[in-house]
Amino acid sequence: MGRRRATRAYSYLAATLFGLTATLLTGLLWTGRFIQVWSLELAAVRMTGLLILVVLGFTAVSGVLAAVPFMYLRRRVGGRLPSRNEDGRIEPER
């Protein structure tokens, strides 16, 4: 039982790190696009830089908070997802 519990904790940590990494990379890409469109001088303004940091902070928190429920759902459902028939219909498990 202890080994299984440790595996669960690791998978939640992995989901959290994945969500954090994905949102920060996305935020950095959009920041790069902002600088490409509006120039580096506008991004260097103190209030604009603060706004970029606040947005990156909110996206990091949202990425962490969004990844954990998806990992929980994945662990609960596991491999029990309904399968498709030849005609494309999804039938529940019996």
Domain for residue 89, yes or no?
A: no
Hey, what are 31's tokens? 């920041």
Report the number of distinct structural domains present in the chain.
1
Domain for residue 88, yes or no?
A: no
- 8 A C-beta contact, residue 91 and residue 82: yes
pLDDT at 58 over 80: yes
With bands split at pLDDT 50, 70 and 90, how would you rate the model's confidence at 64?
confident
DSSP-derived letter for residue 87 is T
With bands split at pLDDT 50, 70 and 90, how would you rate the model's confidence at 25?
very high
Domain for residue 87, yes or no?
A: no
Domain for residue 16, yes or no?
A: yes
β pairing state of 90-91 and 83-84: antiparallel
For residue 58, give its domain range. 2-75
Q: Tell me the pLDDT of the chain averaged across its residues.
A: 78
pLDDT at 6 over 60: no
pLDDT at 67 over 70: yes
Q: Which residues pair with 83 in a beta bridge?
A: 91
Mean pLDDT of 34-54: 87
CA distances (Å), origin 54, targets 27, 28, 50, 59, 79: 11, 12, 6, 9, 39
